[in-house]
Amino acid sequence: MTRPDGPLVSAEHLLRDLDSDPTLVVLDVSWRLGEDSLRGEYDREHVPGAAWVEFEEALSGEPGEGGRHPMPDTETFAEAMRVAGVDNDERVVVYDRDSGLSAARLWWLLTYAGHEAVQVLDGGLRRWRALGYPVDDESVTPERGDFVATPPHREVLDAEGAAEYADQHLLLDARPGDRFRGQNETIDPVAGHIPGAVSAPALANLDDDGRFLTADDLAMHLTRLGVRPGTKVGVYCGSGVQAMHAALALEASQIGVQPAVYVGSWSEWITDPDRPVENPSG
């Protein structure tokens, strides 16, 4: 297996690779917060050969004190990957049909679990279709894979660790800026952010057509937020989805920083009333 050059792959390159690499595994993990399963959209159209992965079943544990989307059980996740055809020694490309949030979650979880060749389709199905590339409506049942999860290969923060990063290092809040400021909070029962965190909306890392900014532009943007080579960076969001998208952007920037992720994020932070909250709006 050849390790890919970077965490992103363009639609143009994926189209070429589908023809040249018969071992390539492509996964559709489309999901939207608050909506039912998007399996029906997958059934209508997907990248040819892409297998379906159900976000809520494979990529998240049960909501509760650990937040809305805590880490999935390791073996549950690994089994879902085997069912989807994932092997440890074959390249995987993951995508969704929106802005890459759920794809980034799967990318992060696979790399956390030890897979060394995972990429996100830059621009997702939206970009793929805009280029006029073929889509399929036939469900894919892949040959069972042999993936074995060997975590942890990335740093995970708990609430105490997130507070330490905010105080001593750099903690980025990947939610939209209004939620960071305590405005328009329609998802969580408490508004605001972790004291000392820096607002860094994940979707600001994308251009108008849903692709990530170039590595140079990402580096410039993240540098303005305080990221430097060697900086200890943590990221969080509402429930650990946008945080992993921000982690993907950090790695795509080529600054050389692999951030720690507070998976429980804001939805876990606020389950303890003794944890401090900064709310500029009130």
**Annotated catalytic sites, by residue?**
237
Round to whole Å and give the CA distance between 135 and 45: 6
Those residues with Cβ within 8 angstroms of residue 208's Cβ, 6 or more apart along the chain or in another chain: none
Q: Are 44 and 97 in contact (CB under 8 A)?
A: no
Which of 176, 162, 41, 25 shows the shortest CA–CA distance to 55?
41
What torsion, rounded to 10 degrees, do the Cα atoms 3, 203, 201, 108 define?
A: -30
From the centroid of its chain, how far is CA 144? 24
Residue with tokens 């993951």: 94
Angle between helices 101-112 and 242-252 (to 10 degrees): 70
From the centroid of its chain, how far is CA 142? 23
Round to whole Å and give the CA distance between 82 and 98: 25
CA distances from 196 to 9, 149, 182, 192 (A): 34, 34, 14, 11
Round to whole Å and give the CA distance between 63 and 118: 27
**Main-chain phi, psi angles of 228, to 5 degrees:** -135, 160
In the Cβ-directed half-sphere of 123, how many Cα atoms lie within 13 Å? 19
Number of residues written out for the chain:
282
Those residues with Cβ within 8 angstroms of residue 108's Cβ, 6 or more apart along the chain or in another chain: 154, 244, 247, 248, 261
